[in-house]
């Protein structure tokens, strides 16, 4: 039962994050307006908002206009549910690390969805990641000698960001095309903060592997790199715990 509740909670978060990404891409506010069908605009009832089940029950179609609902709505819910289950399974017990990893996972998921839709990572995601890290290492877990610890991690993040900036700059001169956006470079500051320098370098390597794989599968030269970084980031973060 606890797995079911966790899955449904994660699925709800997945649905909310996709809604945020879509509204952000359209320049709409997440706080104003109720959930509605993207085709006919009909406001959705409670029974339409049950994650995963609503999609299956209505065979992937809108209950009002019967038009097909994009598979990404189902995927975001399944992904959110699986994220919560994976984090819970990894931590086994109820502890703060579990909630912390779930929160980081949600931020990375929201960031990835927004990047997929807009090729942009809004600054608010970077702010959230940094704030969460600070909360964890100040309020929740008192580090001995916090300032040297903070400076060490911040330096790791800065070196990684500068390294990526330099790499992007050189590659853009050779290939005459932008390889990575400013959002990806900023995201590596958080990667350094959470994972440190060496694990951050592993994250960069793994992100490139995922990126190349995605380019091969989609047969596209320009892919949003945020989801690749997020996936590597999350895998390494869970491997660390």
Positions touching Zn ion (CB under 5 A) are: 37, 39-40, 62, 64-65
Mapped onto helix, strand or coil, the DSSP state of residue 68 is: strand
Residue among 133, 98, 128 at smallest CA distance from 6: 98
In the complex with Zn ion, the residue whose CB is nearer, 65 or 170, is 65
- As measured in angstroms, the least distance from the Cβ of 61 to Zn ion is 8
- As measured in angstroms, the least distance from the Cβ of 55 to Zn ion is 13
- As measured in angstroms, the least distance from the Cβ of 63 to Zn ion is 7
The answer to whether residues 80 and 14 touch, using CB atoms and an 8 Å cutoff, is yes
- As measured in angstroms, the least distance from the Cβ of 166 to Zn ion is 49
In the complex with Zn ion, the residue whose CB is nearer, 37 or 214, is 37
The answer to whether residues 211 and 185 touch, using CB atoms and an 8 Å cutoff, is no
The answer to whether residues 101 and 119 touch, using CB atoms and an 8 Å cutoff, is no
In the complex with Zn ion, the residue whose CB is nearer, 48 or 115, is 48
The answer to whether residues 120 and 183 touch, using CB atoms and an 8 Å cutoff, is yes
- As measured in angstroms, the least distance from the Cβ of 149 to Zn ion is 52
- Return the residue matching tokens 């931590």: 91
In the complex with Zn ion, the residue whose CB is nearer, 35 or 131, is 35
Instruction: Give whole-number Cα distances, 101 to 12, 85, 105, 132, 234, in Å.
Output: 17, 11, 6, 10, 8
In the complex with Zn ion, the residue whose CB is nearer, 65 or 71, is 65
Neighbour tally for 5: CB within 10 Å: 10
In the complex with Zn ion, the residue whose CB is nearer, 37 or 167, is 37
- As measured in angstroms, the least distance from the Cβ of 30 to Zn ion is 21
Beta partners for 68?
Answer: 61
- Return the residue matching tokens 């942009």: 120
- As measured in angstroms, the least distance from the Cβ of 14 to Zn ion is 21
In the complex with Zn ion, the residue whose CB is nearer, 37 or 171, is 37
The answer to whether residues 110 and 17 touch, using CB atoms and an 8 Å cutoff, is yes
Residue among 115, 136, 154 at smallest CA distance from 240: 136
């Amino acid at each position: 039962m606890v797995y079911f509740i966790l899955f449904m909670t994660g699925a709800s978060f997945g649905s909310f994050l996709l809604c945020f990404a879509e509204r952000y891409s359209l320049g709409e506010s997440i706080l104003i307006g109720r959930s509605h069908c993207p085709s006919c605009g009909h406001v959705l009832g409670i029974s339409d908002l049950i994650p995963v089940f609503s999609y299956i029950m209505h065979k992937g179609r809108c209950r009002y206009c019967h038009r097909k609902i994009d598979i990404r709505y189902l995927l975001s819910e399944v992904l959110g549910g699986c994220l919560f289950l994976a984090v819970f399974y990894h931590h086994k017990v109820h502890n703060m690390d579990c909630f912390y990893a779930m929160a980081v996972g949600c931020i990375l998921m929201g960031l990835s969805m927004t990047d997929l839709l807009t090729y942009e990572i809004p600054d608010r995601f970077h702010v959230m990641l940094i704030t969460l890290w600070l909360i964890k290492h100040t309020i929740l877990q008192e580090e001995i000698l916090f300032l040297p610890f903070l400076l060490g991690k911040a330096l790791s993040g800065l070196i990684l960001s500068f390294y990526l900036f330099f790499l992007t700059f050189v590659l853009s001169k050779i290939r005459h095309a932008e390889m990575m956006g400013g959002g990806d470079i900023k995201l590596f500051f958080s990667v350094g903060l959470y994972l440190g320098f060496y694990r951050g370098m592993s994250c960069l390597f793994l992100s490139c592997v995922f990126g190349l794989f995605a380019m091969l599968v989609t047969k596209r030269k320009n892919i949003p790199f945020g989801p690749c970084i997020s996936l590597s980031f999350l895998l390494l973060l869970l491997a660390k715990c």
